[in-house]
Structure 1
């Protein structure tokens, strides 16, 4: 029987509330700032936490772009959000598909140096894109993939982490399932699609959330391989809005930041149940 301690419960909840307030405060400030004008933000020190009446105009300007009252030119965030969405989905789906197939081959196929191949894949965890960025950029440039979706996504698709996680999951699948599928005349791919994929759905969902956020928040690699504004993801758009103009339209920057947070937040909220289950569930 679990003993209930009201004092301990109170302090644990208090710590959680304080932590939530600390985490959410910058988001609240950005949301309130996006409802004000740039003049209101720059003229009040500290920033007023009273919502303004410029919400519609600010978000319209952030999404569609245009000229501001100060003469600054705002690049539309809508195309950048689309680029970020495509990049995040391609990276996520590509990582999961390749990792599933590579883990399936390593676990269920017998070929020479099978373990060596796995450890060679695993060692690439020590070589993130920041380390191999020079040679990777040279290859992408030589292949004419600059300013393309392929250049933004293909170098980031391979994932040793996902391959490792799926391998560990496949190793826990009972051998009886493999024998039953073989007795029923199922080939390797039939076993993969009819047995392994349904069993892996929670792991796939958890990895989808993680990899989608990873792809959405890419900054360094797009900064190198994109020189055309129509291929900028939204993270680069925020950076450009801050450092590309003499006068920063902070209300538009904050509105764009809020818009950039919505898709990953929506993915986490919609897939929260599957995400948690994929991380903690061990039932097969």
Structure 2
């Protein structure tokens, strides 16, 4: 029986409310900034609605957002970010689940060595190997292309490890039953393993989608053509104004828009995401 402690409950709720305020306050300030003219930012960040309303959002999608020496619509940057995020996500899931399947269910020489080589790449993130990766992408003529944006970020040791750990919990009786029923490796993979891995796939889909959507350093290095700018990179470029006024209301509006797709993905897959992270079978 849990002892009732009113003061402890009050303190927990206060901490929770404080955490919500700390997280939501920057978003609220950004939303309020979109409703004010640029001249209103001289006295500090606005905390209430201004006279512009939602007109800034409407202007972002009906005209071009000027960045540096060219103009790129926000809709184009959103499309680039979506293509990059979804390609990275699908690529990571496909490669990781197939490599984990091979390591767990097939017997071949040096299979564990292959797994540990994959696992050790966790110590070599993109930021560490960024120069040789850039040179390879450049030699393959993949600069300013979606292939260059996505392929170097597809491999994932973390997802491979998580799928391997889950596959190792599959009972041998299930494997033997599938073999007796005549299920070959491909049928076993598609008809048994994939349905059992739904929650794991959902959890990793959310994580990798957000990872791909928030990429900044890699697109900054390999894209010189503004037509391949992602939304995160575009926000940074909007701040680089040589002569003129920084349009804070447009920047804040673009920031709000950039936050919406990851939030919608988390909301849409919330149940499966949570279950995939806390499932007792893993």
Q: TM-score range by the shorter chain?
A: over 0.9
**1:186 counterpart SS class:** coil
How far the C-alpha of 1:184 sits from its partner, in A, is 0.3
Partner of 2:193: 196
**1:267 counterpart SS class:** helix
Q: Which whole-Å CA distance do the structure 1 matches of 2:242 and 2:19 have between them?
A: 35
Rate the CA distance shift 1:64–1:152 in 2: closer, same or farther, 3 A: farther
How far the C-alpha of 1:7 sits from its partner, in A, is 1.3
Which of 108, 111, 116 lines up with 2:108 in the alignment? 111
Partner of 1:237: 234
**1:213 counterpart SS class:** helix
How far the C-alpha of 1:66 sits from its partner, in A, is 4.0
Which of 217, 220, 225 lines up with 1:228 in the alignment? 225
1:22 aligned to 2:22?
Answer: yes
Partner of 1:33: 33
**1:50 counterpart SS class:** coil
Structure 1 residue ranges without an equivalent (≥5): none
Q: Which whole-Å CA distance do the structure 1 matches of 2:280 and 2:116 have between them?
A: 24
TM-score between the two structures when normalised by the length of structure 1? 0.94
Partner of 1:120: 117
8 A contact 1:29–1:49 mirrored in 2:
yes
Partner of 2:252: 254
Partner of 1:51: 49
8 A contact 1:65–1:74 mirrored in 2:
no
How far the C-alpha of 1:36 sits from its partner, in A, is 1.1
> Is 52-61 or 182-191 further displaced after alignment?
52-61
8 A contact 2:65–2:74 mirrored in 1:
no
Structure 2 residue ranges without an equivalent (≥5): none
How far the C-alpha of 1:49 sits from its partner, in A, is 1.3
Partner of 2:276: 278
Show CA shifts across 1:193-231 (max 9, x none): 111111110011000110000000000000011001110
TM-score between the two structures when normalised by the length of structure 2? 0.95
Give matches, 1:176-187, under 5 Å: 176-187=173-184
8 A contact 2:169–2:281 mirrored in 1:
no
Give matches, 1:71-220, under 5 Å: 75-220=72-217
Q: Which whole-Å CA distance do the structure 2 matches of 1:83 and 1:279 have between them?
A: 29
8 A contact 1:63–1:78 mirrored in 2:
yes
Show CA shifts across 1:88-147 (max 9, x none): 000001100100000000000000011101000000111111111111111111111111
> Is 10-19 or 49-58 further displaced after alignment?
49-58
What's the RMSD between the two structures over aligned residues?
1.6
Runs ≥4 residues deviating over 3 A:
64-68, 72-75
**1:99 counterpart SS class:** helix
Q: Which whole-Å CA distance do the structure 2 matches of 1:211 and 1:263 have between them?
A: 13
How far the C-alpha of 1:5 sits from its partner, in A, is 1.7
8 A contact 1:235–1:260 mirrored in 2:
yes
